[in-house]
Amino acid sequence: MYNDASNESGMFVRMGDKGNPYGSWYTKIPKNSEVEARIDLAIKKWRVKPNGEIRITEYGGDKSILDTVYYIEFPEGIPKYKGPVGYQGGTFFGGLNQEQYFIQDLRDFGKVIKNYPIK
């Protein structure tokens, strides 16, 4: 269950692909590696359709690239929702002790403070 976290502000962390700092899912605690992020935050390597098939784009399979950590500052007052990371099957555990934030692609409100490559 997700709870309103609009009153929270500060630094949020996103792991994603180089050159694309914004998305919809964030955490407050960075992970040390791609493997740790995929297990703890339940991020699959491929984006899939609701029926379980891998999404295909004009470039081939829609891969979920995790090569960069972004620290993004978001202000209080914008819509944010906080809740546990849900299990996604296989080794993508997530869990109740892993909190994530849903902040709908609000690049106009966020400010990238720093980023670095994932090990």
What local confidence, expressed as pLDDT, does residue 60 receive? 57
What local confidence, expressed as pLDDT, does residue 106 receive? 75
What local confidence, expressed as pLDDT, does residue 69 receive? 95
What pLDDT, in 10s, does the model give residues 51-77? Answer: 777 666 665 557 778 899 999 999 999
Structure pTM? 0.80
Return the structure tokens found at 3: 């709870």
What local confidence, expressed as pLDDT, does residue 96 receive? 65
Return the structure tokens found at 8: 């929270």
First to last CA, the chain: 32
Domain locations in the chain as residue ranges = 3-117
Instruction: Give the number of other CB atoms < 10 A from CB of residue 116.
Output: 10
Adjacency order of strands within the sheet including 95-102 = 3-4, 81-85, 95-102, 25-26
Q: Which residues of the chain have pLDDT under 50?
A: none
